[in-house]
C-alpha cells in the first residue's frame, strides 16, 4: 500500500465513523420518542481493486435498525393510547380512509387521539386503520394480506340506531309460603321495559297472584296502557330434585283485543304477545321458563324477586370507547348498550429488518420485507394490544454513550493516519533538496 493509499483509507475511516456518530446522535435525540427503534452502523471493508490482493482496503458504514427489540411500556390516562406487547405493528395511513396503497405504513407509535372529525391520529399525523364491524356486530370477510378492507378508525359522532324488542325472559323467585292459603294475599306487581321500532320506551306489566292451591300461581300480562293481554296458571314442583321448578302451565286465557293478541306454549313456557302500538303491531316472545328447569321463574320459600332480560334498545350516543387485548374497539353508548366498532389488527411481516424507515417513526413495505398480514391481536405470533399505554424507545443511553466514545476514538486514530501520511509525503518531497 502506498502513502496515497493510506490517505484514502484514512479518509474512508473518517467518513464511516462520521456516519456512525450521526446514527448515535439520532438515537440519543430520540431516547424519549414513543415507539422509536434505534439505528446502528456496521463497519464493512471495501476495496477499489475488485476484491484482488492488489486492491486498497477501505471501510464504509452500513446502517441498520434494531427493530425486533421492543421498548418498555409506559402507562397513560388516555384510553386511545395503544401499545403492542409483543410482535407486530399498527397499520396507519397518511390520509383518512386512504385509497393509495403505498400511503399505508407500519408503526409502533400508538399515541392516538381523535382529530376534529373523530379520526384517531398519532402525534406524527398518521391515521390508525382497522376493520369495521357492521351494525349487527359482524366483521364479515376481510382481506388480511392487503390494506384494501381497512378504514380509518373513527370514534366521533357514532350513534346506535334504535332496535325493536323481540325477546324477553323473566328470572326470579316466587315465595312458596304465600300459596295454599284460604285467603290468598294481594298479587305481586312488576313490569319490564321494552322498545318499539322507533326506539320509544314502553312497558309490559306482570301480575303474580298466589292461589289457594299450594304451589300454584296465576300470572296476568297487560300492555303499556293497562289493557289485559292474557293469563296463564303455573304450578311448581314441591319435592324431588326438581323442587322449585315449574311443573306445568295450564288455563291459558287470552284477553287481548285485536289487533293485539296473546298465545302461550305450555310445553316451552313461552308467551307470544302482540301489541297494538303501531301501524304494524309489535310481537314479543316472553320466556317464563320451561317446565322442569330453573332457567326462568322458580318458587322457593323466601322473598319475592324478579328481573328481566330483553333485546332491543333506544337510540344511543357514544360516550366512551374500550379496547381489549385482541384489538376490538367497543363503543359504550348512553342507552347502556356496548357493541364492537372496529377490529384493530396487528401487522406482521416475514422480515421486519427489511422495512424502509419513513419520517414520523413509521415504516413502509419493501421487496425485502416479505409477506404482510394484518392479524388478530393476541393470537398466534402476534402481540397483544394494551390500552392506556405507550411503548417507549428501545434506546439504551449507556450503550449509546459507550458507542460514542468508541467511535470518537476510531475517528481520532483515522485522523492521525492522515496526518502521519501527510508528514511522510512532505518528507518525500524534501528528498530532492
pLDDT in tens, the chain (433 residues): 677 778 888 888 899 989 999 999 999 998 988 888 898 888 888 876 554 556 677 888 888 888 888 888 999 999 999 999 999 999 999 999 999 999 999 999 999 999 999 999 999 999 999 999 988 889 989 999 999 999 999 998 787 778 899 999 999 999 999 999 999 999 999 999 999 988 899 999 999 999 999 999 999 999 999 999 999 999 999 999 999 999 999 999 999 999 999 999 999 999 999 999 989 999 999 999 999 999 999 999 999 999 999 998 888 888 889 999 999 999 998 888 889 999 999 999 999 988 998 998 999 999 889 999 999 999 888 999 999 999 999 899 999 999 999 999 999 998 998 898 888 888 888 886 6
Q: Provide φ and ψ at 347, rounded to 5°.
A: -85, 135
Q: What is the CA 29 to chain-centroid distance, rounded?
A: 32
Can you list the alpha helix ranges (DSSP code H) found in 255-381?
none
Which residue in this structure is represented by grid cell 449507556? 398
User: Computed over its alpha carbons, how large is the radius of gyration of the chain?
Assistant: 37
Q: Provide φ and ψ at 232, rounded to 5°.
A: -145, 145
Contact 81, 324 (CB under 8 A): no
Contact 231, 220 (CB under 8 A): yes
Instruction: 326-335: list long-range contacts, CB under 8 Å, 24+ apart.
Output: 326/376, 326/377, 326/378, 326/379, 326/384, 326/385, 327/130, 327/376, 327/377, 327/378, 327/385, 329/130, 329/153, 329/155, 331/155, 331/158, 331/160, 333/160, 335/160
- Short-list 214, 216, 250, CA closest to 231: 250
For residue 2, the SS3 value is: coil
The predicted structure's pLDDT at residue 316: 85
Structure-block grid coordinates of residue 255: 284477553
**Interval 6-61: pLDDT, tens:** 888 888 889 998 999 999 999 999 898 888 889 888 888 887 655 455 667 788 88
Tell whether pTM > 0.85. Answer: no
- Short-list 39, 126, 23, 84, CA closest to 394: 39
Terminal-to-terminal C-alpha distance of the chain: 26
CA–CA gap between residue 432 and residue 225 (Å, rounded): 123
Contact 31, 396 (CB under 8 A): no
- Short-list 127, 131, 133, CA closest to 150: 131
* Ramachandran quadrant class, 311 (left: phi over 0; alpha: psi -120 to 50; beta: rest): beta
Q: What is the CA 403 to chain-centroid distance, rounded?
A: 39
Amino acid at each position: 500500500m502506498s502513502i496515497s493509499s493510506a490517505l484514502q483509507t484514512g479518509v474512508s475511516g473518517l467518513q464511516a465513523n462520521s456516519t456512525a456518530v450521526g446514527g448515535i446522535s439520532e438515537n440519543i435525540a430520540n431516547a424519549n420518542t414513543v415507539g422509536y427503534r434505534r439505528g446502528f452502523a456496521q463497519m464493512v471493508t471495501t476495496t477499489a481493486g475488485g476484491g484482488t490482493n492488489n486492491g486498497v482496503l477501505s471501510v464504509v458504514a452500513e446502517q441498520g435498525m434494531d427493530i425486533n427489540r421492543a421498548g418498555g411500556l409506559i402507562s397513560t390516562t388516555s384510553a386511545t393510547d395503544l401499545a403492542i406487547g409483543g410482535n407486530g405493528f399498527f397499520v396507519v395511513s397518511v390520509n383518512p380512509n386512504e385509497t393509495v396503497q403505498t400511503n399505508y405504513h407500519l408503526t409502533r407509535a400508538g399515541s392516538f387521539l381523535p382529530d376534529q372529525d373523530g379520526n384517531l391520529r398519532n402525534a406524527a399525523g398518521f391515521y390508525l386503520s382497522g376493520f369495521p364491524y357492521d351494525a349487527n356486530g359482524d366483521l364479515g370477510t376481510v382481506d388480511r394480506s392487503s390494506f384494501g378492507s381497512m378504514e380509518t378508525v373513527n370514534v366521533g359522532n357514532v350513534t346506535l340506531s334504535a332496535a325493536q324488542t323481540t325477546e324477553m325472559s323473566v328470572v326470579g323467585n316466587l315465595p312458596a309460603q304465600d300459596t295454599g292459603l284460604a285467603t290468598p294475599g294481594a298479587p305481586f306487581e312488576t313490569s319490564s321495559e321494552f322498545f318499539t321500532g322507533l326506539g320509544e320506551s314502553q312497558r309490559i306489566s306482570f301480575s303474580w297472584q298466589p292461589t289457594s292451591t299450594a304451589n300454584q300461581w296465576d300470572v296476568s300480562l297487560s300492555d303499556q296502557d293497562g289493557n289485559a293481554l292474557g293469563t296463564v296458571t303455573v304450578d311448581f314442583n314441591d319435592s324431588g330434585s326438581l323442587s322449585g321448578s315449574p311443573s306445568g302451565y295450564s288455563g291459558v286465557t287470552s284477553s287481548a283485543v285485536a289487533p293485539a293478541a296473546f298465545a302461550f306454549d305450555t310445553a316451552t313456557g313461552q308467551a307470544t304477545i302482540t301489541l297494538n302500538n303501531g301501524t304494524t303491531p309489535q310481537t314479543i316472545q316472553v320466556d317464563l321458563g320451561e317446565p322442569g328447569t330453573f332457567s326462568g321463574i322458580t318458587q322457593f320459600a323466601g322473598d319475592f324477586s324478579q328481573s328481566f332480560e330483553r333485546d332491543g334498545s333506544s337510540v344511543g350516543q357514544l360516550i366512551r370507547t374500550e379496547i381489549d387485548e385482541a384489538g376490538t374497539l367497543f363503543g359504550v353508548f348512553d342507552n347502556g348498550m356496548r357493541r364492537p366498532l372496529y377490529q384493530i389488527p396487528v401487522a406482521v411481516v416475514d422480515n421486519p429488518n427489511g422495512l424502509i424507515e419513513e419520517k414520523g417513526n413509521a415504516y413502509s413495505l419493501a421487496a425485502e420485507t416479505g409477506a404482510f398480514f394484518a392479524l388478530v391481536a393476541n393470537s398466534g405470533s402476534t402481540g397483544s394490544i394494551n390500552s392506556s399505554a405507550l411503548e417507549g424507545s428501545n434506546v439504551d443511553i449507556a450503550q449509546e454513550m459507550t458507542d460514542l466514545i468508541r467511535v470518537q476514538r476510531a475517528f481520532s486514530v483515522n485522523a492521525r493516519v492522515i496526518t502521519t501520511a501527510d508528514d511522510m509525503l512532505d518528507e518525500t518531497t524534501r528528498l530532492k533538496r
